[in-house]
Amino acid sequence: MRIMLLGAPGAGKGTQASFIRDHYGIPQISTGDMLRAAVQAGSALGMAARKVMESGGLVSDDIILGLVQARIVEADCQRGFLFDGFPRTLPQADALKQAQIYLDVVIDIQVPDEDIIERLSGRRIHQPSGRVYHVRHSPPRVSDRDDITGESLVQRDDDREAIIRNRLDVYHAQTRPLVAYYEAWSRSGETGAPRLIQVDGTQSVDAVRQQLQQVLG
């Protein structure tokens, strides 16, 4: 099964990706992991990507697509794969389609922006251990103190409201249009058209997981 996950930052894609990967025995493919592996292996695409990254530029869609094409023919992808963070834009989705790399299912995990802001901005971290709290949903026994050590908790920069809103703006401008893209393709009946499944991400983690299990089969 070839699956792609869509959803805003903080929608719960990472948690559900782990479930899908383990349940279906398919690899989770991220462009970041592919880039690092290609650079480390010293492949032609890896060297091209390395030059771009060292100059501070963005790796082109052509290089990313080449990495994807090389990755999905590896043995562990015979039963399928899960795309994590790719395609991220309409040009990338078009390039994937033109290369005839088809998906079976596109899953859109839907969570309103204000819910995401509340989820992420409320997180507090105990840095030495990595323990995570939430000021509303799982608060520490003593405000801003780790339950085990009593040490201070911190709010990561990425969890500050201004940063979250900026990330959501980028998502809505660049990635959210993919939902309409895949919805239109799904309805078209064309060759390679995927199913688009939309899931309410405001449910509990277990409820979302059960819904995915039902629709994926």
Q: Maximum CA pair distance of the chain? A: 59
Among candidate residues 131, 165, 167, 176, the one labeled active-site is 167
Among candidate residues 51, 79, 156, 187, the one labeled active-site is 156
| Whether residue 112 has a cis bond before it, omega within 30° of 0 | no
DSSP state of 138: B
- Is there a catalytic annotation at residue 13? yes
What is the distance between the alpha carbons of residues 7 and 168, in angstroms, rounded to a whole number?
Answer: 10
Instruction: Give me 88's structure tokens.
Output: 């991220």
CA distances for 57 relative to 52, 92, 103, 194, 203, angstroms: 5, 17, 29, 32, 39
- Is there a catalytic annotation at residue 195? no
Instruction: Give me 62's structure tokens.
Output: 């052509």
Exposed / middle / buried, residue 167 (Cβ in 10 Å: 0-12, 13-18, 19+): middle
- Is there a catalytic annotation at residue 156? yes
DSSP letters, 78-122, are TT-EEEES-S-SHHHHHHHHHTT---SEEEEEE--HHHHHHHHHT
- Is there a catalytic annotation at residue 79? no
Among candidate residues 2, 13, 71, 209, the one labeled active-site is 13
Among candidate residues 88, 119, 124, 209, the one labeled active-site is 88
Query: Which three-class secondary structure state does DSSP give residue 61?
Result: helix
Among candidate residues 2, 71, 123, 209, the one labeled active-site is 123
| CA-closest candidate to residue 163, choices 155, 152, 154, 153 | 155
DSSP state of 201: T
The residues assigned a catalytic role are 13, 88, 123, 156, 167
